[in-house]
Structure formats: C-alpha cells, structure tokens
Chains A and B, each alone.
Chain A
Amino acid sequence: MQTTSERTYRPGARLGLALAGLLLGIAGVVGYFVLLFRLGASLPGLRNSALLNWMVVALGLALSGLAVTRTAAGRRTIPSVLLGFNVVAAGLFAFFLYGMLAVPPADGPAVGVPAPDFALSDQTGKTVRLADFLGAPLLLVFYRGHW
C-alpha cells in the first residue's frame, strides 16, 4: 500500500529540477565572463556588481536545494550530488570575483593638489604633456594593459 507522499513522488521531475538548478547555476557563472569580456563596456554596472549573475546563481541553488528536499529520503544521492556541484560552482565563482581579482590597495594621487606633470608618447609617437590639456577637465585612465 502506498502512502500519499509516495504516490506524488515523481523521481524524473525531481531530477529535472535538480538539473535545471545546476544549469542555472552554471549559466550564472559563465554568463559573468560574457559580461566581463563582451558586454562590460555597455553594462558596466552589472560588470561591477555581478548582481544579475548572483541572482541567477541563487535561483539555481534554490532549485537544486528544492529538488533534494522534495525527493524521498532514500533517493537523494543524485540530486544531492548535483546540488554539491552547484555549491562548488558558486564557491569558485565567489573566489574568482572577490579573491582572484582583488588587488592590493594603492593611494593614487592626492585630491586637491596639482596633478604630477608628464610627457609621454601617444599611440602615434607624438609627445603629449599635461599642459596640453590645461583649460579643460582631463580624465586620466590608468589601466593594466595587454602585457
């Protein structure tokens, strides 16, 4: 004789939920690299915060977790493994975002003091000086380069 919970238990649907959760989690992580390298110029706010990606990752984790809790106790191995993969992916994502890409602090120039003068070659080889820009605001963008 089946209990009510066993009658409503559909392992295929639970596995689908667990897989969907894992795929969402991975999509959230992989999607960030698209944001970082392809769309960062037009969506700098999303690149900076990674908020959209974390929302997708969180939804994926929630689905994976739901799949485990909704599966009968003796049959949780596969959804649990999928949830584990999802948690590891989210952990690696966090490590990449907040650990690997972190850099030591630098002071930069003091605000309110004259900017240090410079004379550097532009991309055509012409020497460009700070004085060339006086009379208009100048945004100097220091970047890491292509090495």
Chain B
Amino acid sequence: MSELQGLQLNLAELRARGAAVAGVVVDPVATNAALVRDAGIGFPILSDPDLQVIDAYGLRHVAAHEGRDIAHSASVLVDREGVVRWTFVTRNVRVRPTPHDVLAAIDALPAQH
C-alpha cells in the first residue's frame, strides 16, 4: 500500500521518463476501484483473482494469508520491446524498492533507438 502511494508521489518523475506503472493484485475489481479512489492512485490496478498472470511471472505465494494464495510483493520493469530488464522480489514484506531504485532502473535501460 505505501509502495503504491510512494510510486504515486513520484508518478510525475516516472512519466517524465516515459514510463507507465500498473499494479497487479488478487483483489477483485471493486476493491481496486475503491483503492484507486481512496488512495488517489493515478495508474491502473489490474485484478488477477485466479493468479494466472501472477503464476506466469513466478510470483505465487502459497497459503500466504489464512490459507489463501496471493502474489509475492515484487516489481518488474519491462522495457519498450516487452523484455524484462529488472526485477525486485522481496524476502520481507516491509522491504520494497524505493521510487529512487525504480527511477535508477529506468534510467539504466538502453536508450530508445
């Protein structure tokens, strides 16, 4: 949650680099709509209740909460051609990449041809 809000605080800098942000979560669309509204999130939050995409990205956390599977907290930077260029998969839920880490990863992408 604070990670999404931190990205929101730095959304202008992300967009100045031409980058887009999207969240992915098991929560239903209605929950995500409330989150976007209440937390003032300015990027899409995508609902993956069946964990199809979370599985495709190797990020299923089995029985993480009351026996229910959810996503690992992780950030994945995809370049302009759709290739994964940087990932951060946390080993501790309180530790997330800072917006500074993310901006540095974007700046490290090869320049557009």
Contacts and interface: CB of A to CB of B under 8 A. Distances in A.
A73 B35 CA distance: 58
A133 B24 CA distance: 14
A137 B60 CA distance: 24
Report the contact-size class of chain B (Cβ under 8 Å from the partner).
35 or more
Contacts of B104: none
Identify which of B2, B86, B109 gathers the most chain A CB atoms within 10 Å of its CB: B2
B65 interface: yes
B76 A109 contact: yes
A71 B60 CA distance: 55
A8 interface: no
A42 B57 contact: no
Chain A interface mostly: loop
Interface in A102-131: 102-116, 118, 120-125, 128, 130-131
Chain B interface mostly: mixed
Report the contact-size class of chain A (Cβ under 8 Å from the partner).
35 or more
Nearest to A147: B65
A108 to B, nearest CB: 4
Interface stretch (A19-27, A33-41, A82-90): A33-41
Given A45-B98, A48-B96, A40 B87 contact: no
B31 A134 contact: no
B84 A115 contact: yes
Interface of A: 36-37, 39-42, 44-45, 47-48, 50, 97-98, 101-116, 118, 120-125, 128, 130-131, 133-147
Question: What are the nearest 3 A-B pairs in CB distance?
Answer: A40-B2, A41-B5, A116-B56
10 contacts: A36-B94, A44-B99, A103-B61, A111-B87, A134-B81, A139-B14, A140-B22, A141-B7, A142-B54, A144-B65
Interface of B: 1-9, 14, 17-27, 29, 31-33, 35-36, 44-48, 52-54, 56-61, 64-66, 68, 70-87, 89-96, 98-100, 102, 106, 109
